[in-house]
Structure 1
Amino acid sequence: MNETTQLPYQRERFYRRDRRSVPAARRFTCEALADWGLARAGRGDDVLLCVSELATNALVHGVPPGRGFRLVLRYGGGVLRAEVHDSGGGVPRIVDVADEGGRGLLLVAALSDKWGVGEREPGKAVWCEWETAPMGQDGRHR
């Protein structure tokens, strides 16, 4: 099977509005990276930090009381994508560096190859991507 027809790997998990959700999302991501052979691909720490930032932003700014967020991880075709879906309003943006907070998305922009915000009803999905070595037919990275 060639890369263009290879289906992506996908994992997702729902987290409650709870401070323990951020480290749990980081552990979940770490397990997925290890299972997909990406833990030592050189950017694992970047991925973990970005997932932490997106999860924290969802908890602080995007998750109304009584709700939670969903973390979706996809890997296929040489691209790893992390998405955090929440039901809050607003559009996240990178703030001026002089501002007191809000540097999380600045880190995400610096550590990922791409990032953005997608609409969903209700809320939004904030995502980031990294290009990785595509897998060969034998399931190993080239």
Structure 2
Amino acid sequence: MASPLIEHEGVVASVAAGRVCVRITSHSACGGCRARQACGMAEAQEKIVEVATPRAAEYAPGQAVRVGVRRHAGLVAVVLAYVGALAVLLGALCTATLALGWSEGRAAAASLAAVVLYYGLLWLCRRGIEHTIQFTITKI
């Protein structure tokens, strides 16, 4: 059975009151392949994850840590970030073209505006989302 946590190893970037910022490097599926230099398909992205913890004072910049999130919370994040935006985009596009009879260009612009509003709404709700998607941090 799969682990209930999605975990990544990282390095503490900074520590603030009740929060630890961890720098992690996520690799594409082929990131560990020995032929990645030749094919050019491998990619690695550096990300900063902010972890709320009452034990933030126990961590220091440069320290190796493991950051985890429950699989369910990861799924919620994917749905909010990608599936929700796609649904808004397609819904606005269909509404604008079929129900309102707008031209394709105007409907596309309205769809993009709807997605911008969707992400703005997510940003306004970020505090509530933070309580749903909680990261854990452990020392290595």
| Structure with the higher fraction of residues in helix conformation | 2
TM-score greater than 0.5 by the shorter chain? no
Q: Using structure 1 for the length normalisation, give the TM-score.
A: 0.30
- Structure showing greater radius of gyration is 2
